[in-house]
Structure 1
Amino acid sequence: MTRLRNLHSIKKVAFFLLFFIVQFAFSQKTIQAQVLDFDTSVPIAFAKITYNNTTQFSNWEGKFSITLTDDAKPIVISYKGYYDKTYYQTLGAKNIVIKMVSNTTQKNQEILTENAVNQLIKKAIQEKDKNNPEKALRDFDYKNYEHLLISANPDSISSKIDTVIKKNFWGKRKVKLDSSNYKFRKLVEKQHLYQTEKVNRIQHNAKGTKETILATRMAGFKKPLYEILGLNLVTYSLYEKHIDILEIPIRNPISTYGRNIFVFKIVDTVTIDHRKTYQVYFQPKKNKESTLRGLLYIDAENYGIAKAFFRIYGIVSINASYTYTYLTEHHIWFPKKRLFEVVKGNNKEDLTILGETIKFNSSLEKIDKNASDQIYLKLESTPFDIHINTATVQIQNPSIKIDVPESSISKPDSYWKTIRKDSIDVRKINTYTSLDSLSAAENIENKIVFGKKIINGYLPYHKVDFDMKTLLKYNNFEGFRLGIGGVTNSKFSETYKISGYAAYGFKDEKVKFGITPSYLINKETNTWVSGSYSDDLSEIGQIQFATQSRRFKLYDSRPINISTFYSNKSFSSFIETKAAPKTDIYFGCSRSSVQPLFEYLFHYNEKDYSNYIFTTIQVAMQWNPFSDYMQTASGRLEIEKRFPKFSLQITKSLANVLGGNFDFTKVDFRIVHEIPYLSGQNSSFLLQGGLASGAIPLTHLYSIAPNNLNKESVLKRITFSGRNSFETMYFNEFFSSKYITFHAKHTFNKIKLANKIKPELTVVTRMAWGTMDKPEQYLGFQYKTLDKGFFESGLEANQIYKGFGLTFFVRYGPNALPQWDENLSIKLSYVLDLGF
């Protein structure tokens, strides 16, 4: 009996103990949380989290996990530069977002980094050259497998078929089934959306660093798109002044200037490859979006980078990670792996990468129901077969950044099986099979070739690419000008081409034409020798650079309003080449017969000339010293356009040679600079000038691109705006023999005003100065000079609807006109988006 009572007591104690454990377990709740800036939604790294007398810190993404035992007790978050945030648990919430409000009083004070980390970063900067493989090693040679894909995680996409309720014109509700998410999930379960692979060889010696493509393949293409091969989505080296991300240079935190814009914090010490490293977090002093932040693992002994994680929040969210291997023999950290990912940021608009429209998803804050928001871009790069300081590295033509031999595009599947560094990915194999079949069925390769030519203004048909710029034009002298022109393509010949055009002006009732046969001397350097004859009209005072790249427009806005032309019959021969590193070079000679088509005489040597002959020699060079170039089987391409870019052109007219009347010299130069931002905004600058000396008629001086009609009211002057023209300067108002102009623009992101109304705003300022030598030589033509300068500023609202926009400019300064409305300009603008 006693034993039974004892057994009953034990059961009772066990029951109460079990009840207490269950109650305690159910009273605890583990939640996932993220701390964000209230204004920018940028994560706040290493914020202090206090709960129930315990303290922890958020990680570098602002995330933390916490177990709650008492709902009545708050979570308190604190961080320098912000007001403390007190948060009480929301019933049933498992994932929470906590937003902190900036304390502007503290924000305006400089954030001081502790002395220890300051000294560490300073030492890392001082030792950069000793730790940078490109400077510390005599030479190296390694192969690299790189895989780029656009895909989505099927598990992140709902497999349900949604019900969508829509109203018809009469307001009646109609229920429809939306299966797009379901279909999208089924697609990405089988294959990736897009992928490309390449094996490249990276060589470095005293001449520099060069990449040679050993093998490449792109899903859906027999031959690669060279422009994609040249994409530099993320930089190779972390020791340069700038880090390139999405081809946009960003200040490197490990640089002298980087210390001025980033704040650093030592988080921990970590052992990597048996070496002690400091884990250092950095973020901008102003905690704003679209700015680099991340973790650096710095060797405690030699101050090299052992590992790095970068993150950018903004239009897109970007993750980049670098891992390194310590080479004991060479006392240096050498690249081991590079990983780059792009996901959705805070943008509400579609993003376009590699021709695909990509929508992305953010972190804990929001999950969009649209399946395409789950898409990501991922680039993985793994070096192998590494050779260091062998004294055998030979680099041919180091000015070419990437070399793509024809043999690299025809590797069999067996080659890729031996090269691929990851495990078998069934979706990867299916992607090639599916996209190759789709490409063949849809004739995608030919469509892309077609698209590239359309962008440059050519319509390909069999052996001829027709020039769309010649089809239809209008100006005040010729009226409507109807024409046809084109150039033979590679189907006609790889080494010969013939370009030509013919046009008829309905107002002046005259035919104009031109023909240019060319011969390819060297395919590798794109060297062509050409001869040409033309009988056409030219604009008075026009400024043209022989090396200027062709820009296609459905319309050419400025000539619409021009009425002062001269007849120009010209024979010429010239050579164009890219033989010199990072340059386009033009050399030509010509003989031109010029007849001004307006009232004007040129007085020279006691004689008045109403027409004249020029015999000229011209040398022109476009130099892009900061751009990178790729050599392919079809020629040389500028794959990474960096600024500034420089143009120089010298024209010499020879008297008494082939009947030439005058001896003069013209020197023209141009500097173009652009600054892109990860936010999508862009700043651009143009500095251009010219100097003409000797006996030079007004037709060949400078009118500096005016674009305003000589009419009395603002509304009557409404036409189309130009690209870099002075919108408030009237035609034939100013002429100069020496001039200089400066243009500055800043373009903001598109603003969504309505569903299809998304203007792109640009603020613009332009200015010019000029003088005229020997004005007494120019008879019968009235003009002014720019000695006191010309100034205008304005706002462009481009692409408001269907490519059309409006521009508004005002003229001010010494050359402002008496009537206020004479200084105003309102113009239409048009931007053609072909979608390629």
Structure 2
Amino acid sequence: MKYFWLFLCFLITNSFVAQTKIKGQVIDFDSKVPIAFASITYNNKKLHADWEGKFTIEVKDYKLPIKVNFKGYYEKITYPEPKTINITIKLVTDLNEKKPEIFTENKVNNIIKKVIENRKSNDPEKSLSSFQYKNYEYVQVTANPDSISSKIDTIYKKRLLRKPIIKLDSTNYKFKKFSEKQHLYQTEKVNLIQHTQKQSKETILATRMAGFQQPVYEYLGLKLISYSVYENPFEILEIPVQNPISNFGRRLYNYKLIDTVKIEGRSTYRIYFEPKKLNANRLRGLLYIDSQNYAIAKAHFRIYGVVNINATYTFDYRKDIAIWFPKNRKFRVSKGNNHEDIKILGGTIKFSSDLEELESKNATDQAYVNIESTPFDIEINKDITISKPRVKIEVPEKSLKRDNEYWSSFKKDSLDKRKLRTYTSIDSLSLSERIEHKVFLGRKIINGYFPISIFDVDLRSIVKFNNFEGFRLGLGATTNTKWSEKYKVAFYGAYGLKDDELKFGITPSYLVDKKTETWVSASYSNDIFEIAQTNFVTDSRRFKIYDPRPINISTFYNNKLSVLSLESKLFPKTTSYFGISHNEIQPLFDYTFINDNQAYTKYTIAAAQFALQWNPFSNYMQTPMGKIEYEKRHPKFSLQLTQTLPSILDNDFTFTKVDFKTYYELPYLSGQKSSVLLQTGIAFGDVPITHLYSIVPNNLNREAILQRITFAGKNSFETMYFNEFFSNKYASLQLKHTFNKIRLGYKINPEFTIVTRMAVGSNNKNNQHIGIAYKTLEKGFFESGVECNKIFKGFGLVAFYRYGENQLANFDDNIAIKISYYLDLGL
């Protein structure tokens, strides 16, 4: 009995001195970004948060305050509360503090300098003569069932001028049950990475995707994060950011030496880095630097913004070559401070931020993406033969047909029963909902076709409208691979209700070489074309519901066109075209061209044309379906040369045209993007107005602003009137910056873009063109405006203002207001 009382006294005494552990996280009040190594004081004891702003304290007295301090912020004082074991402390920026960043100390600055100086000797891609390894990569879209509420909510759906509808929402409950049984999505691949001092290549050895017999090849080339920690710029979600161990990166980041730790028996510096602008969404992280050779032995990276990203790199130290070689790479993506859905593989998956442990109303906000890749069978400094070095990634046919026995050798977690269920259930779902067919159909539609049996129907030829033809009704199609892989025939017919004329065309083609996608084609057409327009024959075809500019155009010419052409992707990263054409041209407006004292109201042009599309910074993948540009990088360049053929095929004029275009697009991690389009052309010789340059005008010559409201073009000059300027040489520059969408409610989410366009040109043979009055561009043309796109159901409004030497006398005439439309196919 005495032992019982002794035990009871022990329990009572222990309860009086009991302590409660509280976990907390320090974040920025505005950006919700964690504040690393903030100072926390409680009960006269001081500690620091970790690099993710997290800390743990033992609370003895709830009356004692928790004080949090960090340079550049006001002190935050809070009191712990009983039964609350997780707290989030938000610090407010001190606007009176002139320099709120952590100053880089000399010691850590010298360490980073030595890391930069020794990059070449520590980077395996630079220091080793060659290496190759196999790599297993597993991608998983999943959710933690424990973080999802199973309750059934009551929702009120508002209706205009009617009573709201009350419904029971069981989404959370169903999602929790689903995620308990399986992952949302998964895919695996095994690839062979080969690298020499001159080139590198990836060969897919095996791949499988839940729900697909044939993989989505674009995924196989998806580069969510750089393979090498030394790469600059460092890529995250295919967006370049400055590497913290680059020379320029030192201007953007501050560094702090935390301590030294042992990795594989070698002493390493643990260094934290963050942007000098604390609210920036650039990289933050920890670098473990070998104290002897200043190589990276381990790395953690975090980004907080539109998406939250967490990446971890681990390395093995190879004593035989004194190199830290990649061992494992983990990558996680979750929803950040964005309000828009993040799309993966054509399907919409919603991610949530993990900064605050708040229960989300939307169950799918708990979903996240995990990627893990592990090298094996590593060979270093051996003779390596890289086959087909012209393509960056190769997908052999056999890689798509690996059996379960092959994949079983890569099982890492036998306890993950959800993994196997994911393949079987999603395969069944794919069959029932024909997901694979929808992806195939999407590829066709995005290029403007709809497959029906052996034909792909041309969606852009069905209905059109312009001032000359009125409504143009037509039907066009091309044969597909179900008919033949070697031969194809494209054809169309159209009828204008206003001009009462039939137009048609036919193009048979033969595939000379499948690997280089070399086609020989012969075509004939009898159709009308807009005057003074330059079309680059190598431009990719993209689907449009309508082409807005021709709606208001009246000046066309009829062309009986015969062409013999060769198109190929023989040279790396290029698409080339060569053709010989015969054109019988009849202007369909009052026009006479004077050349060598002879008047022409119709004429014949025989010409040779060479065109080249060069994407030097893009990467390509060779698949059983052909070559795919899987990594589209900028800038891209287009060059087109046209030369008439004197005294051949009844050619009437001698002239030469040289056209050039380059496009550059820069995306940002914030979701915004900037773009630059430079286009120029020059024509030598005797050039009729049908083949001059009018620089894509898109404005009607009417008095009132509202009378000039039409649809805006993609890259057209919205304040330039049709047929106002013609040039035999010109240069144009277009600058754009697109901001993130703004949520205004009720599906109204406008996307704002600021645009500036300018052009300059000349025409030194104006007296050759009779019947049409126009101006020239020696003094330049300038317009700027704002596009408010995708306000509702894809529709938006744009407004532009014309200024400079070619500004018009009446203020109203310089203003253009247009309607924009963007079709989102979700592909």
TM-score clears 0.5: yes
* Aligned twin of 1:621: 612
Task: For residue 57 of structure 1, report the CA deviation from its aligned partner.
Answer: 0.6
- Contact 1:145/1:421 (CA < 8 Å) preserved in 2? no
Q: Is the 8 A contact 1:736 1:770 kept in 2?
A: yes
Does structure 2 retain, via aligned residues, the 8 Å contact 1:42–1:289? no
Q: Secondary structure at the match of 1:414?
A: helix
What does residue 375 of structure 1 align with? Answer: 367
Question: Would you say 1:98 and 2:113 are equivalent positions?
Answer: no
**Cα distance between partner residues in 2 of 1:238 and 1:59:** 22
Per the alignment, do residues 132 and 659 of structure 1 end up closer, same or farther by CA in structure 2, a change over 3 Å counting? same
| 1: CA distance, partners of 2:153 / 2:58 | 36
Deviates more, 1:151-160 or 1:324-333: 151-160
* Cα 1:467/1:171, change in 2 over 3 Å: closer
Alignment check: 8 A CA contact 1:149 1:194 kept: yes
Find the residue that maps to 2:14 and give its secondary structure: helix
- Contact 1:278–1:298 under 8 Å retained in 2: yes
User: Are positions 1:146 and 2:152 aligned together?
Assistant: no
- Residue 756 (structure 1) aligned to one of 741, 747, 755: 747
Q: Partners in 1 of 2:490 and 2:37 — Cα distance?
A: 65
Cα distance 1:507–1:273, how it changes in 2: closer, same or farther (>3 A)?
same
Distance 2:280 2:431 in 1: 43
The Cα offsets for residues 334-358 of structure 1, whole Å up to 9 and x where unpaired, read as: 1101111111211233222222222
**Correspondence for 1:3:** none
Matches within 5 A, 1:696-775: 696-775=687-766
Q: Tell me if the contact between 2:209 and 2:215 (Cα under 8 Å) persists in the aligned partners.
A: yes
| Residue equivalent to 2:394 | 403
Are 2:528 and 1:534 equivalent residues in the alignment? no
Unaligned runs of 5+ in 1: 1-6
Deviation of the 1:776 alpha carbon? 1.7
Aligned to 2:638: 647
How far is 1:73 from its partner? 2.1
Q: Which residue of 2 aligns with 1:77?
A: 68
- Residue 494 and residue 170 in structure 1: after superposition, are their counterparts in 2 closer, same or farther (change >3 A)? closer
Q: Is 1:221 paired with 2:218?
A: no
Q: Does 1:385 pair with 2:377?
A: yes
* Contact persistence 1:81–1:103 (CA under 8 A): yes
Residue 15 of structure 2 is aligned to residue 22 of structure 1: yes
Mean Cα deviation higher: 353-362 or 148-157: 353-362
Q: How does 1:576-655 map to 2 (within 5 A)?
A: 576-655=567-646
Q: Are the counterparts in 2 of residues 270 and 276 from structure 1 also a CA contact under 8 Å?
A: yes
Deviations 1:304-363 (A, max 9, x none): 111111111111111111111011101101110111111121123322222222222322
Q: CA RMSD for the aligned pairs? A: 1.8
- The one of 765, 783, 789 aligned to 2:780: 789
Match of 2:184 in 1: 193
After TM superposition, give the deviation of residue 445 of structure 1 in Å: 1.4
Does the aligned pair in 2 maintain the 1:361–1:367 contact within 8 Å?
no
Matches of 1:806 and 1:98, distance apart in 2: 43
Aligned match of 1:806 in 786, 790, 797? 797
- State the shift of 1:477 in Å: 0.8
1:480-508 Cα deviation digits (max 9, x unpaired): 11110010001010111000111011111
Q: Post-superposition shift, 1:612?
A: 1.3
TM-score normalised per structure 2: 0.97
Aligned 8 A contact 2:252 2:275 in 1: yes
* Gap change, CA 1:717 and 1:167, over 3 Å in 2: closer
One-letter amino acid of the counterpart of residue 455, structure 1 = I
Query: 2-side partners of 1:354 and 1:269: how far apart?
Result: 42
Q: Distance in 2 between matches of 1:648 and 1:253?
A: 38
Between the aligned partners of 1:786 and 1:440, the Cα distance in structure 2 is 60
> What amino acid sits opposite 2:364 in the alignment?
S
Map residues 492-511 of structure 1 onto 2, 5 A cutoff.
492-511=483-502
Per-residue CA deviations over 1:43-71 (Å, capped at 9, x if unaligned) read 00011111122111111111111112222
How many residues are matched?
A: 826
Aligned amino acid, residue 216 of structure 2: L
What is the CA-CA distance between 1:109 and the residue it aligns to? 6.4
- Give deviations 1:542-587, integer Å, cap 9, x for gaps: 0111111112111110000110011111111111111111111111
Contact 1:96 1:364 in 2 (8 A): no
In structure 1, the residue matched to 2:118 is 127
1:484 and 1:11, CA in 2 relative to 1: closer, same or farther beyond 3 A?
closer
Distance 1:152 1:289 in 2: 28
Q: Distance in 1 between matches of 2:159 and 2:342?
A: 31
Name the SS for the 2:97 alignment partner: helix
2:417 pairs, out of 403, 421, 426, with: 426
Question: Structure 1 residues 82-91 or 432-441, which shifts more?
Answer: 82-91
Give me the whole-angstrom Cα distance separating, in 1, the residues matched to 2:346 and 2:627. Answer: 22
> What's 1:523 paired with?
514
In structure 2, the partner of 1:662 is 653
- The answer on whether the counterparts of 2:135 and 2:376 sit within 8 Å (CA) in structure 1 is yes
C-alpha distance in 1, partners of 2:159/2:442? 38
CA distance in 1, matches of 2:596, 2:815: 42
> Contact conserved, 2:72 with 2:101, CA < 8 A, in 1?
no
How far has the Cα of 1:417 moved from its partner? 1.0
Q: Is the 8 A contact 2:606 2:648 kept in 1?
A: yes
CA distance in structure 1 between the aligned counterparts of 2:158 and 2:506, rounded to whole angstroms: 60
Shift of 1:104: 2.7
Q: 1:4 maps to which residue?
A: none
SS of 1:434's partner is helix
- How much has 1:273 moved relative to structure 2? 1.2
| 2:307 counterpart residue number | 316
> Greater shift after overlay, 606-615 or 483-492?
606-615
In structure 2, relative to structure 1, the CA distance for the partners of 1:37 and 1:637 (3 Å cut) is: same
Structure 1 residue 111: Cα displacement: 4.6
**Percent identity, aligned pairs only?**
58
Using the size of structure 1 for normalisation, the TM-score is 0.96
State how far apart, in whole Å, the 2-side matches of 1:535 and 1:126 are. Answer: 65
Structure 2, unpaired ranges of 5+: none
How do residues 475-514 of structure 1 correspond to structure 2 at under 5 angstroms? 475-514=466-505
Q: What are the within-5 Å matches in structure 2 for residues 275-314 of structure 1? A: 275-314=266-305
The C-alpha deviation readout for 1:703-757, integer Å capped at 9, x for no partner, is 0000001111111111100000000000000011110001011111111112211
Q: 1:382 to 1:20 in 2, by over 3 A?
A: same
User: Which amino acid is 1:20 matched to?
Assistant: T
Please report how far the alpha carbon of residue 768 of structure 1 lies from its aligned counterpart in structure 2 after TM superposition.
Answer: 0.5
1:178 Cα offset (Å): 2.7
